[in-house]
A and B are shown apart, each in its own frame.
Chain A
Amino acid sequence: MSVRPRDALRVEALTVAFRGSDHPVIRGVSFEIAPGEAFGLVGESGSGKSLTCRAILRLLPRGAAGTGRVTYGAHSLLELDDAEMQALRGSTIAMIFQDPMTALNPVLRVGDAIAQVIRSHEGLGARAARTRALEMMERVGIRDAARRAAAYPHEFSGGMRQRVHIAMALAARPTLLLADEPTTALDVVVQAEILRLLDDLRREQGMSLLLVSHDFRVVAGLCDRVGVMYAGELVELGPTRAVLRRPEHPYTIGLMNSLPEAVAGERLRAIPGAPPDPERLPPGCAFAPRCELAVDACIAAPVAFSQTSPGHRSRCLRIDRLDDMRRSLAAADGA
C-alpha cells in the first residue's frame, strides 16, 4: 500500500444515518484538510463530530452507514474493500480517542502494546520493534522509557496513558491523525502538554491533523482552520483566527459566551435550551429554536452557507445582526 506522504483529505457531502431511520445524524458535511494542516471540529455531544471521524475511518457503530465522498490522496475511503481499508488504518491514517484507558489493552505492558503496532504495520522483528517502541515512548515525553515500558496502563496517570496512546497511534508514522477529544479527561496543564506534543509531532512529521473537541480553547491552541458542528451539520467554517476574532454564527458566539474567561466579569450569556433530537429536527436552521435572532425565514427552510470573508463561511440569515451578541466577547478581548 503506497500513499504519497503528503495528501489532502477531502470530505464531500458526508451523510451518516442509522438503519431504519429517515433522519441522518450527519447531514452533508464537507471540508478539506490540506497536507500538514491542522483542522479542528468543534461541537457539543451529539453534534456528530465524533461520528464524522469514525465515518472517515469506516469505524461507524453497527447499523450506521456513511454516504458521500471521502478521499485521501488517490484513495476513495468509502469505496475501498475491507482489506484495503484495514491496511490504511493505523499505518497511513491513525486515530486517538478520548479515553486512553479504554483504548489501551489493560493486560498488555505498554511497551509491548506499542511494539505490536510497529510489528504489524512495519513488519519489523521483535527486537527491532522493541527498540522503536522505546524511541517512540521517549519521543512522546515518557522519561525512563526502558523501565516504564514494562508497566501496565493502570499504573500510568491519565496524561501518561494518553502519551502511550499517542505513541501507539504514531508508531507507524501515519500522515493523517484523527484525534477525538484527546485531552478532555485531562487537567488544564496536562492538556496543554499533550496538545503541544501533538503540535510538535505534526510539524516534525508533516502530518495532517483532524482535532475534534467540544472546547473552543483546545482547537484555538493549534488548529489552522476550524469547523463548528451543530445537529449533524457544519454551521461555520473558517480560519481559526477569523472565527475566534469575529464568529459569524449565533451558535459559535453562544459557545464562546458560555466560557467564563471570554466574558470577563459579566454574567454568562448561556445558550438557552438544549440541542434538538435528530429524529425531530426543525425544517429550517437547526439552531433557530435556541437562537435569539431567529426570524420566520430561519424556521422555514434550510440555510445555505454564505461567505463572510475569504475562506470564512456561515449558515446564518442574520449575519448582519450579530454585533450585539458579539459585544461581550469584544469587551473581554480588549481587556
Chain B
Amino acid sequence: MLLVAEHLTKTYAPRRGWSATPGRPRVGGTVRPALTDVSLSLERGESVGVVGESGSGKSTFARCLALLERPDAGRVLLDGIDLTALGGGPFRRTRRRIQVVFQDPYSSLNPRLTVGSTLREVLLVHRLAVRDRIDRRVHELLDQVGLPARVVDRYPSDFSGGQRQRICIARALAAAPDVLIADEPVSALDVSIQAQILNLLADLRARLALSMIFISHDLHVVRYIAPKIAVMFGGGIVEVLPPGVPLESARHPYTQMLLASKSRLEPGWLTHVGELNMELSASLPTTGCPFRGRCPHAFAPCHDVDPPARPIGEGHVVACHYVT
C-alpha cells in the first residue's frame, strides 16, 4: 500500500468567550469530532474518491492525510513510514510526497509571485531540479497542465479561475508527489471549465500514473475521476464502493439519498425525488448513528450504537445497522 490512513480522529477545540455558540453539538461537554476513526488505503496508481457534504469531515480528512493538520489519534503511513511520528527535516522531506490542490484557486496562489516563481520555488525548496534545468522543468510542468510557456512571467491576477486551478495543479506536480489530493478542485469553477479541469486530472492520472484522492460533494464528479469511492457523513466513512460496483448498488441510506438526484437533467426531477427527510436542526445527534436524524430507516439500535463498518461484498463496506 502506498498510503494508509489508520483510525484518524480530529477534534477542533470549541471557541471560548462570548463568541462561543450555545447549543453546539457536544458529547459529554466536548464537541463532536470533525473526524472519527477514519481508515482508508490507497495503492500506487489508484484513485479513490471521497464524497460528502460540507461538515462531513472530508476536508479535515484531506488535511490530516497531507499532515497539514495533525490528527489527534491515528496514523498516516506513506510507503510504511508513519508520518505522524516524524518531525523536523524527515517530516518535511516525506510530506513533500503528498501534495494538495485546494478548492479556491483565488486564495491558494500567492498574488505577488509570478507563475514561474511559484513553480521554481517548489523545485528549489525541495531540490528537485539542478539550477540550469529549472526553467526547462517549469516549462514541462506548464505544458502538462495545458498552459503555454509564455505565462511564466505573469501574475495570478492575469488568469481566470480555471487557469489558476491549472497553475495550482502544476505547483502540486512540481513537488513530484506520490499522492495528489484534490479537495473540491472544481466546485469554485463554472460548469464548462469544470469539465476541462476534470479531463486534465483524468489525463494526468493516466499519463503520470498518479495516485489520487479526489474529494467532492458531487457523487457523479467523483465517479468520473475515481473508480473507488468512500462516502463520508458526520465525520466518518459510511460506505466504500469498490471499483466496478455501480453506484446503483450503494446500500447506505445516505448514499442512496445522494443518488436520488441521479437524473437531475430530467425535466421536473424535483418532483420525483423521494422524501428528503431532512433533520432541520443544524446539529448532528451526539450518540449513535450520525445520520439517523435524516434516515428513513432509523430504528432503535441507531440511537444507541454508532454502526461499525462491515464488509457486505468484495471491498464493499457499509456502516449501517439497517443494511443486512
A: residues with CB less than 8 A from B are 44-45, 141-144, 154-160, 187-190, 192-193, 195-196, 199, 214-217, 220-222, 240-241, 244-245, 254-262, 267-272, 274
Tell me the bound Cα distance from A262 to B263 in angstroms.
8
Given contact pairs A143-B281, A188-B53, enumerate 9 new A-B contacts (beta carbons under 8 Å).
A189-B278, A192-B270, A192-B276, A255-B192, A256-B265, A258-B194, A267-B202, A268-B198, A270-B192
- Chain B hits for A240, CB < 8 A: 267-268
Which one of A44, A189, A261 contacts B192 once the chains associate, using CB atoms below 8 Å? A44
B191 is an interface residue with CB less than 8 A from chain A: yes
Contacts A188-B258, A190-B53, A270-B199; A220 near B191 (Cβ below 8 A)? no
Which one of B196, B261, B263, B264 contacts A270 once the chains associate, using CB atoms below 8 Å? B196
**Do residues B280 and A258 form an inter-chain contact, with CB atoms below 8 A?**
no
Contacts A221-B270, A255-B192; A192 near B220 (Cβ below 8 A)? no
- Chain A hits for B192, CB < 8 A: 44, 254-255, 258, 270-271
Tell me the bound Cα distance from A154 to B20 in angstroms.
11
**Do residues B160 and A274 form an inter-chain contact, with CB atoms below 8 A?**
yes
Contacts A187-B54, A192-B261; A160 near B267 (Cβ below 8 A)? no
Give the shortest distance, in Å, between B103 (CB) and chain A (any CB).
12
Q: List 7 A-B contacts (CB under 8 A).
A: A154-B21, A158-B54, A189-B257, A220-B266, A255-B192, A258-B194, A269-B195
Tell me the bound Cα distance from A214 to B217 in angstroms.
17
Which one of A156, A215, A268 contacts B224 once the chains associate, using CB atoms below 8 Å? A268
Give the shortest distance, in Å, between B298 (CB) and chain A (any CB).
16
Give the shortest distance, in Å, between A220 (CB) and chain B (any CB).
6
- Chain A hits for B258, CB < 8 A: 188-189
Contacts A143-B280, A190-B53, A261-B265; A268 near B195 (Cβ below 8 A)? yes
Give the shortest distance, in Å, between B90 (CB) and chain A (any CB).
39
Tell me the bound Cα distance from A109 to B218 in angstroms.
33
**Do residues A160 and B282 form an inter-chain contact, with CB atoms below 8 A?**
yes
Which one of B23, B269, B281 contacts A221 once the chains associate, using CB atoms below 8 Å? B269
- Which residue on B lies nearest to A332, using beta carbons? B265
- Which residue on B lies nearest to A144, using beta carbons? B281
B: residues with CB less than 8 A from A are 21, 23, 53-55, 160, 162-163, 190-196, 198-199, 202, 217-221, 223-224, 257-258, 260-270, 273, 276, 278, 280-282
**Do residues B190 and A220 form an inter-chain contact, with CB atoms below 8 A?**
no
Tell me the bound Cα distance from A310 to B223 in angstroms.
38
**Do residues A260 and B224 form an inter-chain contact, with CB atoms below 8 A?**
yes
- Chain A hits for B196, CB < 8 A: 270-272
Tell me the bound Cα distance from A270 to B203 in angstroms.
13
Tell me the bound Cα distance from A190 to B55 in angstroms.
13
**Do residues A193 and B276 form an inter-chain contact, with CB atoms below 8 A?**
yes
**Do residues B191 and A188 form an inter-chain contact, with CB atoms below 8 A?**
no
- Chain A hits for B219, CB < 8 A: 188
**Do residues A244 and B276 form an inter-chain contact, with CB atoms below 8 A?**
no
Give the shortest distance, in Å, between A168 (CB) and chain B (any CB).
18
Tell me the bound Cα distance from A267 to B280 in angstroms.
38
- Chain B hits for A45, CB < 8 A: 190
- Which residue on B lies nearest to A254, using beta carbons? B192
Indicate the member of B54, B270, B276, B281 with the most A CB atoms within 10 Å. B270
**Do residues A260 and B198 form an inter-chain contact, with CB atoms below 8 A?**
yes
Indicate the member of A190, A216, A221 with the most B CB atoms within 10 Å. A221
**Do residues B264 and A217 form an inter-chain contact, with CB atoms below 8 A?**
yes
Contacts A244-B265, A260-B223; A270 near B53 (Cβ below 8 A)? no
**Do residues A195 and B270 form an inter-chain contact, with CB atoms below 8 A?**
yes
Give the shortest distance, in Å, between A153 (CB) and chain B (any CB).
12
Give the shortest distance, in Å, between A236 (CB) and chain B (any CB).
15
- Which residue on B lies nearest to A216, using beta carbons? B265
Listed from nearest, the 4 A-B pairs whose CB atoms lie closest are A221-B270, A270-B195, A258-B195, A187-B53
Tell me the bound Cα distance from A221 to B221 in angstroms.
19
Give the shortest distance, in Å, between B21 (CB) and chain A (any CB).
6
Contacts A189-B257, A270-B196, A271-B192; A261 near B267 (Cβ below 8 A)? no
- Chain A hits for B162, CB < 8 A: 274
**Do residues B53 and A260 form an inter-chain contact, with CB atoms below 8 A?**
no
- Chain B hits for A258, CB < 8 A: 191-192, 194-195
Tell me the bound Cα distance from A157 to B21 in angstroms.
13
Tell me the bound Cα distance from A45 to B160 in angstroms.
11
- Chain A hits for B217, CB < 8 A: 187-188
Which one of B220, B263, B269, B282 contacts A260 once the chains associate, using CB atoms below 8 Å? B220
- Chain A hits for B54, CB < 8 A: 158, 187
- Which residue on A lies nearest to B192, using beta carbons? A271
Tell me the bound Cα distance from A268 to B198 in angstroms.
8
**Do residues A220 and B264 form an inter-chain contact, with CB atoms below 8 A?**
yes
- Chain B hits for A214, CB < 8 A: 190-191
**Do residues A193 and B278 form an inter-chain contact, with CB atoms below 8 A?**
yes
**Do residues B265 and A262 form an inter-chain contact, with CB atoms below 8 A?**
yes
Tell me the bound Cα distance from A296 to B103 in angstroms.
39
Give the shortest distance, in Å, between A155 (CB) and chain B (any CB).
6
Tell me the bound Cα distance from A268 to B200 in angstroms.
10
Give the shortest distance, in Å, between B245 (CB) and chain A (any CB).
14
Tell me the bound Cα distance from A199 to B260 in angstroms.
18
Give the shortest distance, in Å, between B123 (CB) and chain A (any CB).
28
Give the shortest distance, in Å, between A254 (CB) and chain B (any CB).
6
**Do residues B270 and A222 form an inter-chain contact, with CB atoms below 8 A?**
yes
- Chain B hits for A44, CB < 8 A: 190-193
Contacts A158-B54, A215-B191, A220-B264; A192 near B282 (Cβ below 8 A)? no
- Which residue on A lies nearest to B224, using beta carbons? A260
